């Protein structure tokens, strides 16, 4: 269990005509103030202490294994149905500006009368859902508790689409960098995006399986199956976008390596041209730089200018020939 500073659980109780919303720290108070016929939602932000969690488990009479899974951040997304409740776990994205993608573990415990959510982070992932309930927008106040679970799962999936849109914008910028100015920093960003995509994909694929199996649960009403299918479709669309992004990143990586190879070839070509040009010049300079006494050319009155002319002619001729061949 992660050591996260917990806040008091938030209890929201509502129906079409009533709404109660306040912190709730006592299991006994929660049970005593849970009117029949309403939807009850108990939201934990940050993992509670194990002793406090044990009190909630005993008061609610829930399966111990399920309750411990709810506060296990290493648990992969899964669905388990018990006689008294349906357990779901999922991974959502923590928004952190200017840093890598971070995931948080979120658990759902759904009974016929209430739902418990346990968020790994203190940041409230479901604030928008709470606002919708408080303002009476939509039909959430008129629907039973499993419809609320649909809204909560939708709030879990939504950040994936937002993160992918941000990654697509990053990819566009990286393409410009690779084409115009390839550098190791660009390649580092490409590899970082690939790692983030792998992390998101590993989290979302099992969630898609959970959403595909949730309709088999007795705790989900048949009339609400289309809503859960809609969330599953959103997850599948995100996975398709991830696959497309991964393919584009692979292409971008190949383009980067090709660009670097091309720039290396250009540098080598320039160096080769300089080497080829200076080869005959160096030969002539070395030849007439030998200090032998019996070298008739060294006594020629205009020998210096003749050798310079030969050098210039060699350089000019080689440049003309290379340009004609299309090498420069």
| For residue 292, pLDDT beyond 70 | no
At 204 the pLDDT is 94
| For residue 328, pLDDT beyond 60 | yes
Pairing assessment for the beta strands 39-45 and 114-119 based on DSSP bridges: parallel
Number of domains in the chain: 2
Q: Is residue 5 part of a domain?
A: no
Q: Is residue 277 part of a domain?
A: yes
Q: Is residue 105 part of a domain?
A: yes
Q: Is residue 2 part of a domain?
A: no
Phi then psi for residue 4, to 5 deg, are -120, 130
Same domain, 93 and 167: yes
Q: Is residue 294 part of a domain?
A: yes
| For residue 26, pLDDT beyond 70 | yes
Q: What is the mean pLDDT of the chain?
A: 85
Residue range 219-234, pLDDT digits in tens: 999 999 999 999 999 9
Show which of 237, 258, 279 is a domain's final residue: 258
Same domain, 252 and 271: no
Percent of the chain at pLDDT > 70 equals 92
Q: How many CB atoms lie within 10 A of CB 11?
A: 20
| For residue 201, pLDDT beyond 70 | yes
Q: 0.85 exceeded by the pTM?
A: no
| For residue 98, pLDDT beyond 60 | no
Q: Is residue 4 part of a domain?
A: no
Q: Is residue 62 part of a domain?
A: yes
Residues 94, 97, 100, 103, Cα dihedral to 10°: 0
Residue range 104-162, pLDDT digits in tens: 999 999 998 899 999 988 778 898 998 889 888 889 899 999 999 999 999 999 999 99
Q: Note down the domain range covering 321.
A: 266-325
CATH of the domain at 39: 3.30.460.20
Q: Is residue 137 part of a domain?
A: yes
Q: Which residues pair with 23 in a beta bridge?
A: 10
Same domain, 144 and 275: no
């Amino acid at each position: 269990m992660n050591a996260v500073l917990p806040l008091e659980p938030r209890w929201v109780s509502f129906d079409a005509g009533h709404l109660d919303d306040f912190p709730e720290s006592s299991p006994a108070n929660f049970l005593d103030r849970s009117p029949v016929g309403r939807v009850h939602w108990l939201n934990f932000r940050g993992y509670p202490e194990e002793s406090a969690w044990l009190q909630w488990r005993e008061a609610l009479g829930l399966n111990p294994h399920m309750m411990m899974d709810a506060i296990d951040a290493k648990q992969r997304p899964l669905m388990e149905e018990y006689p008294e409740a349906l357990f779901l776990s999922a991974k959502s994205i923590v928004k952190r500006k200017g840093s890598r993608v971070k995931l948080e573990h979120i658990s759902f415990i759904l009974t016929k009368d209430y739902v418990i959510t346990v968020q790994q982070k203190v940041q409230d992932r479901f604030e928008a859902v709470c606002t919708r309930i408080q303002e009476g927008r939509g039909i959430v106040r008129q629907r039973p508790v499993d419809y609320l679970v649909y809204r909560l799962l939708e709030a879990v999936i939504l950040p994936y689409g937002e993160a992918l849109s941000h990654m697509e914008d990053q990819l566009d910028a990286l393409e410009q960098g690779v084409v115009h100015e390839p550098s190791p920093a660009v390649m580092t960003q490409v590899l970082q995006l690939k790692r983030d995509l792998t992390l998101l994909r590993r989290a979302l694929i099992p969630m898609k399986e959970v959403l595909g199996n949730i309709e088999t649960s007795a705790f989900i009403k048949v009339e609400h199956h289309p809503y859960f299918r809609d969330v599953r479709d959103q997850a599948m669309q995100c996975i398709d976008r991830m696959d497309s992004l991964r393919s584009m990143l692979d292409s971008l990586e190949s383009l980067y390596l090709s660009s670097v190879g091309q720039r290396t070839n250009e540098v080598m070509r320039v160096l080769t041209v300089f080497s080829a040009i200076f080869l005959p010049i160096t030969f002539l300079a070395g030849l007439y730089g030998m200090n032998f006494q019996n070298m008739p050319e060294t006594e020629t009155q205009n020998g210096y200018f003749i050798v310079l002319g030969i050098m210039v002619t060699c350089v000019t001729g080689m440049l003309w020939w290379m340009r004609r061949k299309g090498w420069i």
